[in-house]
């Protein structure tokens, strides 16, 4: 299999960005399994939790762009700016929305005193990430990007 067309191209950046998200989601499942000693398959497809797959994906993508195009390039600046917005959103806006959903769920439970189904169902509370979860995801994305870039460089030689 010839993978020379992947190394140092946009394909590498896409490969790293997408696979970092998938691997972070899988890691989230195992972190929960170790910490809570409980199998929760929903963690493979839901938002929130440790590590942030959003942060892993965007930092993996932007790091790969920096490795390929150079750290001074406009492409890296754009990718890194995008990563900062996504990570701020994950730790800020979406986390606040999750806290509001938890508060609203409690209020609805107090009003209806029964099932939340009467009020339209329970609002999803785990939407965002703590700053530590975002940081862990970002570190994962950076390390993973370097690993894949070095692996591809070795294979293509």
Q: Is residue 3 part of a domain?
A: no
Residue carrying the six token digits 């508060």 = 103
Indicate the DSSP class of residue 53: H
Q: Is residue 47 part of a domain?
A: yes
Flag whether pLDDT at 141 surpasses 90: yes
Tokens of 140: 């994962």
Query: For residues 111 and 61, which has the higher predicted lDDT (pLDDT)?
Result: 61
What whole-number percentage of the chain has pLDDT above 90? 42
Q: How many domains does the structure of the chain reveal?
A: 1
The Cβ-side half-sphere exposure at 126, using a 13 Å CA radius, reads 10
Domain enclosing residue 94, as ranges:
10-155
Q: State how far the Cα of 77 lies from the Cα of 65, in Å rounded to an integer.
A: 9
CB atoms within 10 A of CB 39: 9
State the pLDDT at residue 58: 96
Q: Is residue 71 part of a domain?
A: yes
State the pLDDT at residue 152: 93
């Amino acid at each position: 299999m010839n993978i020379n067309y992947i190394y140092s191209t946009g394909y590498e950046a896409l490969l790293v960005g997408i696979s970092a998200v998938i691997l972070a989601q899988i890691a989230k499942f195992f972190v929960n399994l170790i910490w809570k000693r409980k199998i929760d398959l929903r963690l493979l497809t839901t938002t929130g939790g440790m590590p942030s797959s959003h942060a892993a994906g965007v930092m993996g993508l932007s790091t790969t762009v920096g490795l390929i195009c150079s750290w001074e390039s406009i492409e890296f600046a754009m990718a890194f700016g995008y990563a900062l917005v996504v990570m701020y959103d994950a730790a800020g806006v979406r986390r606040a929305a999750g806290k509001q959903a938890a508060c609203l769920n409690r209020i609805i439970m107090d009003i209806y005193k029964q099932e939340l189904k009467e009020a339209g169902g329970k609002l999803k509370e785990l939407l965002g990430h703590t700053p530590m979860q975002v940081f862990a995801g970002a570190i994962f994305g950076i390390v993973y990007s370097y690993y894949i870039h070095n692996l591809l460089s070795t294979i293509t030689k």
